């Protein structure tokens, strides 16, 4: 049975993170290693608090296509919505 309370967390490999960082330099930590450490820590803390958090791999090309199709600008809020959309499709 699908857990309705699952929340999506954007996850990037280093190449995708670098592409995103080049597009939105102020949106992420200064380095991939710092971002990954912070994201891993946040993931652990949220899970420890009882939240069902699922890592969702984000590829920038498909994300930007999704933004265009949905009439939204690339932003942290849009990345979160995209990850939630991907998680829902994955779980359905």
pTM of the full structure: 0.87
Partners of residue 56 on adjacent β-strands: 10
Backbone angles phi, psi at 48, to 5 degrees: -65, -30
User: Which structural domain, as residue segments, surrounds residue 79?
Assistant: 7-91
Rg of the chain (C-alpha set):
13
Instruction: Tally the domains of the chain.
Output: 1
Residue 1 domain-assigned (yes or no): no
* Predicted confidence (pLDDT) per residue in 47-85, tens digit: 999 999 999 999 999 999 999 999 999 999 999 999 999
Residue 39 domain-assigned (yes or no): yes
91 touches 56 (CB < 8 A) = no
Residue 2 domain-assigned (yes or no): no
Alpha helices in 8-75 (DSSP H): 14-23, 32-48, 60-70
């Amino acid at each position: 049975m699908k857990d309705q309370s699952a929340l999506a967390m954007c996850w990037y490999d280093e190449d995708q993170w670098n592409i995103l960082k080049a597009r939105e330099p102020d949106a992420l930590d200064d380095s991939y290693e710092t971002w990954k450490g912070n994201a891993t820590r946040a993931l652990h803390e949220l899970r420890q608090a009882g939240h069902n958090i699922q890592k969702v791999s984000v590829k920038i090309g498909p994300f930007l296509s999704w933004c265009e199709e949905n009439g939204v600008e690339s932003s942290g809020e849009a990345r979160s919505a995209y990850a939630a959309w991907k998680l829902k499709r994955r779980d359905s």
